[in-house]
Amino acid sequence: MGQPQQGSAADAAKKEAAGVAAHAGEAGGKVAGTAKDEAANVAKEVGTQAKNLLSEARSQAVSQASEQQARVASGLRSISDEFSAMADDRQDSGVAGQLVGQAGSRAARVADWLEAREPGDLINEVKEYARRKPGVFIAVAAIAGVAAGRLTKAVMSADSDSDRSSAPKPPPPATTRPGAGSVGSAGMPGTVPGASAAAPRSTGTTP
């Protein structure tokens, strides 16, 4: 009588253990699936945030480059105006005036060129030109540096010559007024023109 009861109890325990194992496996599968989905969502969110940050960084870089480009163009425009005014003031100054006028015209053309282009287009054009003609690009950069140095030297020399020519002349030396007398070589006062010397008094004896 005791053996059949023990067998049924063992069977029930086995079934319960099998059910628990099946439930645990199912729950583990669900947890693994959920974790996988969450990981995929996190990766997707990270990718989206990275793209947004990259896009924002590019926008800021383009905005800053555009501001810098506009600032450079404005500075060149101011330099062009100053050089043009200097050239107008120095119409008869020869080579210096011509160099100043040419520099003003070129600065204005460069300012127009900068204002008509986007920062990306400007960089691409410079890179393309340097790639196609590296020797010419280097030569132009060197010539621009030398020309800027010569222009600065010429302008400074012209300003120095203008300052020297406009400086007031020293007054002529003072002259002796007529009638003021002169000092002799022995340090004695000389005679004043127009003054008569007094006759000496006689000191004879009275009779």
Average pLDDT over residues 58-76: 81
Alpha helical stretches, state H, 1-133: 2-89, 95-115, 119-132
Whether 130 and 137 have beta carbons less than 8 Å apart is answered as yes
**pTM check: above 0.95:** no
Scored b (16 or more CB within 10 A) or e, 148-157 reads eeebeebbee
Whether 109 and 79 have beta carbons less than 8 Å apart is answered as no
pLDDT classification of 64: cutoffs 50, 70, 90: confident
Whether 99 and 154 have beta carbons less than 8 Å apart is answered as yes
pLDDT classification of 197: cutoffs 50, 70, 90: very low
pLDDT the model gives residue 186: 44
End-to-end distance of the chain based on CA atoms, in angstroms? 207
* Nearest to 106, CA basis, from 96, 98, 117: 98
pLDDT tens-digit series, residues 106-145: 888 888 888 887 777 777 777 787 788 777 767 767 766 6
pLDDT tens-digit series, residues 1-59: 445 555 566 666 666 676 666 667 666 667 777 877 788 888 888 888 888 888 888 77
